[in-house]
Amino acid sequence: MTDRVVLAYSGGLDTSVAIGWIAEETGAEVVAVAVDVGQGGEDMDTIRKRALECGAVEAVVADARDEFAEQYCLPALQANALYMDRYPLVSAISRPVIVKHLVEAAKYHGASTVSHGCTGKGNDQVRFEVGIGALAPDLTCIAPVRDFAWTREKAIAWANDRNLPIDVSKKSPYSIDQNVWGRAVETGFLEDIWNAPIEDVYSYTANPAEQRDADEVVITFDKGVPVAIDGETVTVLQAIQELNRRAGAQGVGRLDIVEDRLVGIKSREVYEAPGAIALITAHQELENVTVERDLARFKRTVEQRWGELVYDGLWFSPLKDALDTFIAETQQHVTGDIRMTLHGGRAVVTGRKSDVGLYDFNLATYDEGDEFDQSLAKGFVQLWGLPSKIAARRAQR
């Protein structure tokens, strides 16, 4: 039986060329796998047909939009995951779901190898190969662009020589990766970190400087899950899509950062994540109302480590699994409504409501009805500061 290679297929130049190149170099049949994580753009059936026209013996299209939203975006939301305190892991959380479908396809089609189109400079090579190794240690990986120094010029020449059915005449000045959780843009003039982004970089968001009326939205959560927007029941995917639309129309979610890549270099990235930023903002505020102080403090440490693990390609690691269990426990009382104003590139919380919140008006108020016994505070302050006072006396001696 002829060996088979499963290829993570995007429909673009590099992975289209990879189909024929892998077949010629290895003698294996290529099964192309395209995973829909809400990236938009071309119709997925068109991408499937292109893979077959480029020489794939099988072409699989997986609609993973709800799966991605519920099993990957939602954990990131509940972890308030922001790598380097800003980046909502747009690309990082899409790779594990793609890996899962690649491995399933490899098992189904009897493939011994999985291939991807990543370069040697980026994080995605790690996310793909470490993830594949965790789910199927017997599979091997090849990366034509990285392992065999494929350049765009070589890929275009290969495509032209073999009359592949892909348009190689137009070259975007940017490298773009997008899904329903957000959009990542890099390369081109953005590689000079002094250059400011221009408006044609953006697609998910409108210019926040333009004059427009503000948009008020109420997001309802049940145990950390967004379940309604303005009283209308939604799935997780629908919540993200609706806030992509509404927050994006207000310019919310634009990020321009220099981030630390796993491979050791710094990279300038421009992101758009209107739905992700709006949802994380709302979720964080509801946690402020419903999660006990020490649990919340410790969770912030867990959130940072969770984000680093996911960014570094360790979605399927034992530590990530253990932290998932902790985070899930913290969500038991994250139920209620958050009102936000979306305007001028910002999502600003203006109201909070929860039947299981820990905010007690009668303890917090300074007006009539105050139930807080201030007479207890004097002794508390003295005992709380006693260790520091004793240490200070020793220092004075």
Is 9 part of any known ligand binding site? Answer: yes
Residue located via tokens 């109201």: 351
Core vs surface per residue 283-298: b (16+ CB within 10 A) or e: bbbbbebbbeeeeeee
How many other C-beta atoms lie within 10 A of the C-beta of residue 262?
17
Contact between 19 and 59 (Cβ < 8 Å)? no
Distances in whole angstroms, Cα of residue 311 to Cα of each of 137, 219, 347, 375: 21, 27, 25, 49
* Long-range contacts of residues 232-238, Cβ cutoff 8 Å, at least 24 apart: 235/66, 235/69, 235/70, 236/66, 236/69, 236/70, 236/73, 236/74, 237/38, 237/65, 237/66, 237/68, 237/69, 237/70, 237/180
Residue located via tokens 């940017």: 174
Residue 234: name the closest of 250, 247, 218 by CA.
Answer: 218
Is 146 part of any known ligand binding site? Answer: no
Q: State the Cα–Cα distance between residues 17 and 248, nearest whole angstrom.
A: 35
Query: Which DSSP letter does residue 350 get?
Result: E
Is 10 part of any known ligand binding site? Answer: yes
Beta-carbon-side half-sphere exposure of residue 261 (alpha carbons within 13 Å): 16
Is 203 part of any known ligand binding site? Answer: no
Using DSSP, state whether 370 is helix, strand or coil.
Answer: coil
Q: State the Cα–Cα distance between residues 365 and 156, nearest whole angstrom.
A: 69
Is 303 part of any known ligand binding site? Answer: no
Using DSSP, state whether 288 is helix, strand or coil.
Answer: helix
Is 172 part of any known ligand binding site? Answer: no
Residue located via tokens 């980046």: 87
Q: State the Cα–Cα distance between residues 262 and 46, nearest whole angstrom.
A: 34
Is 271 part of any known ligand binding site? Answer: yes
By annotation, the residues acting in catalysis are 14, 95, 124, 175
Is 15 part of any known ligand binding site? Answer: yes
Is 215 part of any known ligand binding site? Answer: no
Is 14 part of any known ligand binding site? Answer: yes
Beta-carbon-side half-sphere exposure of residue 285 (alpha carbons within 13 Å): 21
Q: State the Cα–Cα distance between residues 184 and 309, nearest whole angstrom.
A: 19
Beta-carbon-side half-sphere exposure of residue 15 (alpha carbons within 13 Å): 25
- Enclosing H/E stretch for 328: helix 318-330
Is 224 part of any known ligand binding site? Answer: no
Is 119 part of any known ligand binding site? Answer: yes
Is 124 part of any known ligand binding site? Answer: yes
Detail the residues annotated as belonging to a binding site for L-aspartate.
119, 123-124
Detail the residues annotated as belonging to a binding site.
8-16, 87, 117, 119, 123-124, 127, 175, 259, 271
Detail the residues annotated as belonging to a binding site for L-citrulline.
87, 123, 127, 175, 259, 271
Detail the residues annotated as belonging to a binding site for ATP.
8-16, 117
